[in-house]
Structure 1
């Protein structure tokens, strides 16, 4: 009887440790690369290098766009920019990432929008070149387009 209790206790301990190990295991990186850079042209609003940062959780994905080359023309409140980032699918068509998330920005601050929410499928390969970023600020729409392919390459979702 004593051997059964020890065996049962050891099995429970091993099971608890395995469950704890899974709970603390790092999450898998589902999208590669996680960051990419582009050169964007925003017309009379400027342009330059921008960084796109992507995350994925199943079919839900987000992208945040940050650029020190593109600056806020005036002070902007938090979550006051309506944004749509349209990326081109390698298989044809586009995928849109939308949202109204942005930090508060003073005039002249670097522009950051996102995380913008979108839906992806396993194997999607998305590229900024050929797509656009539209930001609506105080009723004015600013459209930015990539002037070349993103580096190091398109986002590939798992």
Structure 2
């Protein structure tokens, strides 16, 4: 009988420890996969204008997205949702390049800054990406924007 009580107490203690561990895991904050999540950069888009851009990055595994909002290009007319095709080229780890592409955008009223994304790309752990250029195609017209400043506060690190 004494042996049975000892086993029951041990099982109860083990179950309580497991419950506490599970509770701690559930309430632990999730780690951010990309740092920083938001950055700014300046673009020169030639005859379309120049200005700053805000880049917002997210990551889930090897899939990443970057959303771009820039005052460097303004909509000449109302632009419908999903009608902007964009390619964001980024330097990768200081030497190569990678691209993020997409044709997703909110509706953009005439005269408003262009917002595009999420633009999708693939990353690996440790990738350091900094925007170099942005190509935006709206109604068959292409605007190419080149970075004129470093990305602040720094490259996206995945």
Q: Same fold (TM over 0.5)?
A: yes
Alpha-carbon distance between aligned partners in 2 of 1:19 and 1:97, rounded to the nearest angstrom = 38
Residues 1-158 of structure 1 mapped to structure 2, 5 A cutoff: 1-128=4-131, 131-157=132-158
Offset, 1:58 = 2.2
C-alpha contact 2:44 2:147 (8 A) present in aligned 1: yes
For the aligned residues, what is the CA RMSD? 1.9
Alpha-carbon distance between aligned partners in 2 of 1:67 and 1:91, rounded to the nearest angstrom = 24
Offset, 1:30 = 2.1
Alpha-carbon distance between aligned partners in 1 of 2:79 and 2:22, rounded to the nearest angstrom = 46
Alpha-carbon distance between aligned partners in 2 of 1:17 and 1:104, rounded to the nearest angstrom = 48
C-alpha contact 2:34 2:59 (8 A) present in aligned 1: yes
Alpha-carbon distance between aligned partners in 1 of 2:105 and 2:133, rounded to the nearest angstrom = 18
- With normalisation by structure 2, the TM-score equals 0.86
Alpha-carbon distance between aligned partners in 2 of 1:155 and 1:112, rounded to the nearest angstrom = 19
- With normalisation by structure 1, the TM-score equals 0.86
Taking a change above 3 Å as real, the CA distance of residues 104 and 6 of structure 1, as seen in their structure-2 partners, is farther
Larger Rg: 1 or 2?
2
How many residue pairs end up in the alignment?
A: 155
Alpha-carbon distance between aligned partners in 2 of 1:10 and 1:74, rounded to the nearest angstrom = 68
Structure 2 stretches lacking a partner, 5+ long: none
Offset, 1:150 = 1.2
C-alpha contact 2:33 2:60 (8 A) present in aligned 1: yes
Offset, 1:40 = 0.6
Structure 1 stretches lacking a partner, 5+ long: none
Moved more, 142-151 or 68-77: 68-77
Offset, 1:133 = 0.8
